């Protein structure tokens, strides 16, 4: 495989434009009654017509057999090897609430939990307290300062929050306090390297203070922290591909990720049609668009086969509003599969179509998992999609003499 440094050397700007349409959790599994996946079931004349002019294939975000979380799934689509660029749990959680992490911040995922008088964890989720209650408790903890480090506490949902440690000389190299089990005391937070000892001490003091503050708030009378992490330093898409990239997505997590790779975040409403509208409004100002649609994944996670089908059909109806712009390269795929039957992300490979004037179409004329198997891209790694898009946009020089 070619690495990012090599891509930097051969990438070049040009007037062409690329649209990457990511249908979150697109891949599915066949409905036992019909033998057809969500994508096969959906009536998609526009996607099928596009597939007929495209080169198709099946892609794996991390590896065959590996179920990607949303961050590795998207990093792969942007061409970043998700096993090299790891986004910690704390950072992912901060992205998920649109919190703007500064480069030196350390973020941790927090749970409100219940402990008994002896300090043993009795419920790691404090009975899933309401989000309103969470909000109130976060206000009690937010803004503590320890040894010159400010601790910012922000609610997520139910028992979940994010704790951000902001100050100089911090390290993310410390262990969790979450023991992952009940009936034991929370783990002491320990430094995993000598440089992290101050950070371990600050995090421990925060936990101790939180315990005092929450003492009378049973069931949420303690906190558990895990996944201490710092925003990874990623080369931007401008640096690698010399692109001017923009993101259209109505979910905070994906906005955060897109920002991390240097995309401009475009204003958009929350419907599918809103997002296509945002693309049209901004089409002249950028040369790469990441257009992200979340509802397919949500329907898959809810186990709602029919709703996932309906969302795919809605995307299909909106598609002409994108193809009419005549992008030089169009890629349609997902970030991972979310089969309604599994009600979760899965390892199944992703259908991919890539259209350009230069794509060398194969004989696939239907956009579906079983049809893409016979596509000209074969089965390949999703990290190669950006290279293919760049090549088809004539934005890559020859490699080697």
The residues of the shown chain that bind a copy of itself, judged by CB under 8 A, are 1-3, 6, 10, 29-30, 37, 57-58, 62-72, 82-83, 86-89, 91-93, 227, 339, 341-342, 344-349, 358, 360-363, 369-370, 373-380, 384, 386-392, 396-401
Bridge partners, 191 (sequence order): 174
Minimum CB distance to a copy of itself smaller for 64 or for 143:
64
8 A C-beta contact, residue 393 and residue 356: yes
Query: Residues 257, 263, 264, 266: is their CA dihedral positive or negative?
Result: negative
Burial, 115: exposed, middle or buried (Cβ in 10 Å; 0-12, 13-18, 19+)? buried
CA distance 194 to 321: 56
Query: Residues 270, 273, 278, 281: is their CA dihedral positive or negative?
Result: negative
To the nearest whole angstrom, how small is the minimum distance from the Cβ of residue 219 to a copy of itself?
26
Report the candidate in 186, 176, 175, 193 with the shortest Cα–Cα distance to residue 208: 186
* Residue 61 backbone dihedrals phi, psi, to 5 degrees: -65, -45
Bridge partners, 166 (sequence order): 150
To the nearest whole angstrom, how small is the minimum distance from the Cβ of residue 177 to a copy of itself?
18
To the nearest whole angstrom, how small is the minimum distance from the Cβ of residue 108 to a copy of itself?
12
First to last CA, the chain: 18
Task: Kindly state the DSSP code that residue 373 receives in the 8-state scheme.
Answer: T
Minimum CB distance to a copy of itself smaller for 2 or for 310:
2
To the nearest whole angstrom, how small is the minimum distance from the Cβ of residue 2 to a copy of itself?
5
To the nearest whole angstrom, how small is the minimum distance from the Cβ of residue 370 to a copy of itself?
6
Minimum CB distance to a copy of itself smaller for 256 or for 327:
256
Minimum CB distance to a copy of itself smaller for 87 or for 258:
87
Minimum CB distance to a copy of itself smaller for 146 or for 341:
341
Minimum CB distance to a copy of itself smaller for 215 or for 326:
326
To the nearest whole angstrom, how small is the minimum distance from the Cβ of residue 243 to a copy of itself?
14
């Amino acid at each position: 495989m070619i690495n990012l440094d090599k891509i930097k050397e051969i990438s070049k700007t040009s007037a062409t434009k690329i649209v990457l349409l990511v249908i979150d959790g697109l891949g599915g599994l066949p409905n036992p009654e019909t033998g057809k996946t969500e994508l096969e079931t959906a009536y998609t004349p526009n996607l099928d017509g596009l597939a007929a002019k495209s080169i198709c294939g099946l892609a794996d975000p991390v590896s065959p057999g590996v179920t990607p979380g949303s961050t590795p799934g998207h990093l792969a689509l942007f061409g970043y090897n998700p096993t090299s660029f790891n986004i910690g749990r704390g950072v992912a959680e901060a992205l998920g609430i649109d919190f703007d992490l500064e480069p030196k911040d350390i973020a941790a995922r927090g749970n409100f939990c219940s402990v008994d008088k002896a300090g043993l964890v009795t419920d790691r989720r404090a009975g899933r307290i309401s989000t309103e209650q969470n909000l109130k408790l976060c206000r009690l903890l937010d803004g503590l300062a320890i040894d010159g480090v400010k601790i910012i506490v922000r609610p997520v949902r139910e028992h979940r929050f994010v704790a951000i440690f902001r100050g100089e000389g911090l390290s993310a190299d410390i262990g969790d306090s979450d023991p992952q089990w009940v009936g034991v005391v929370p783990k002491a937070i320990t430094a995993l390297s000598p440089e992290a000892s101050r950070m371990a001490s600050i995090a421990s003091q925060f936990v101790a203070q939180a315990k005092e503050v929450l003492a009378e708030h049973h069931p949420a009378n303690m906190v558990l922290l895990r996944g201490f992490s710092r925003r990874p330093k990623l080369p931007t898409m401008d640096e690698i591909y010399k692109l001017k990239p923009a993101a259209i997505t109505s979910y905070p997590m994906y906005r955060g990720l897109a920002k991390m790779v240097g995309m401009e975040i475009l204003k958009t409403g929350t419907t599918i049609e809103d997002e296509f509208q945002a693309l049209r409004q901004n089409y002249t100002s950028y040369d790469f668009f990441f257009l992200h649609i979340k509802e397919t994944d949500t329907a898959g996670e809810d186990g709602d086969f029919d709703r996932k089908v309906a969302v795919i059909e809605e995307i299909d109806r909106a598609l002409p509003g994108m193809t009419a712009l005549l992008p030089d390269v169009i890629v349609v795929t997902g970030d991972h599969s979310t089969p309604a039957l599994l009600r979760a992300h899965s390892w199944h490979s992703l259908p991919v179509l890539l259209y350009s004037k230069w794509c060398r179409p194969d004989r696939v004329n239907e956009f579906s998992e079983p049809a893409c198997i016979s596509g000209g891209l074969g089965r390949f790694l999703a990290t190669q999609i950006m290279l293919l898009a760049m090549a088809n946009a004539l934005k890559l020089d020859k490699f080697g003499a």
